[in-house]
Amino acid sequence: MQIEVDYCGECQKHQPRKVIAPCSYHQGLGAWIGAIKYQGQLAALPVLCRALVTRIKVLEQQGLITLPQAIMPVPLHPKRLQQRGFNQAWLIARELSQLLQLPLVDEGLTRRQDTRPQAGLSGAQRRRNLHDAFILADDFAFQRVALVDDVVTTGTTVSEIARLFEARYVHVQVWCLARAEAPGLLDDLDSE
C-alpha cells in the first residue's frame, strides 16, 4: 500500500509552496500553454482545466488538500491586459470555477507595477522584477484561496502573491495547467 504524503523527507525541512498541476510544461504542453497565452488559441484550455480538476479531486480524496473557498487568478497589469486583450489566468480560473462550482474572485488583488515579462529572466531577476508588484485589498474576506496561473516556472509570481495572503493568515493553494521543472531535472528521471 502506497501512502501519499505532503512532502518528501528533504522537503519537510523547508515545506516548499505546493503547486497543483496535472502536467509538465516540458513534456509536450509548452506549445499549448504558449498558444493560449500569446496567441489566444483557447481550444486546449477546457481539456487542460478538466485534467487539473481531476488532479485536484484526487488530492482532495486522498486528504492532501481541502478545497478553497474561492478561486483567484493572477492579475495582469491594466497595460498588459489592454495589450494582450485577455488574462489567460482569468480564463483558466473562470473554467475551474464553473467545473468545481467555486466562486471566482477577481477583485481585491491588483498588479500595481507594470513589470517586465518573466520569460527569459533568471530566478534573481524574477524576484527583483516582481518585488512589491502586487497589492491585496484590506477587506479581503476569504481564508482559503486557490491562486490560478497558466504555468509555474520558478514560483516567483505565486510566491510574491502568496506572501501577501499569508501575512493575513489566508491559506493559499497554487493551481496551474503545467509545472515547468528546473532545467535538467527531467533528464535525470528519463535516464533511470
Task: Show me where the domains of the chain are located.
Answer: 17-115+123-190
**Angle in degrees, CA 152, 155, 157, rounded to 5:** 95
What is the pTM (predicted TM-score) of this model? 0.81
pLDDT, position 74: 92
Give the Cα separation of 150 and 175 in Å (integer): 8
Asked if 32 and 157 count as a contact pair (C-beta separation under 8 A), the reply is no
Between 103 and 133, name the one with better pLDDT. Answer: 103
Mean pLDDT of all residues in 131-153:
87
Counting residues of the chain whose pLDDT is more than 90, the rounded percentage is: 35
pLDDT, position 120: 58
Q: How confident is the model at residue 11 (pLDDT cuts 50, 70, 90)?
A: very low
pLDDT, position 116: 59
What is the dotted CATH code of the domain comprising 17-115+123-190? 3.40.50
Give the Cα separation of 56 and 22 in Å (integer): 9
pLDDT, position 91: 94
Asked if 59 and 132 count as a contact pair (C-beta separation under 8 A), the reply is no
**How high is the mean pLDDT of the chain?**
80
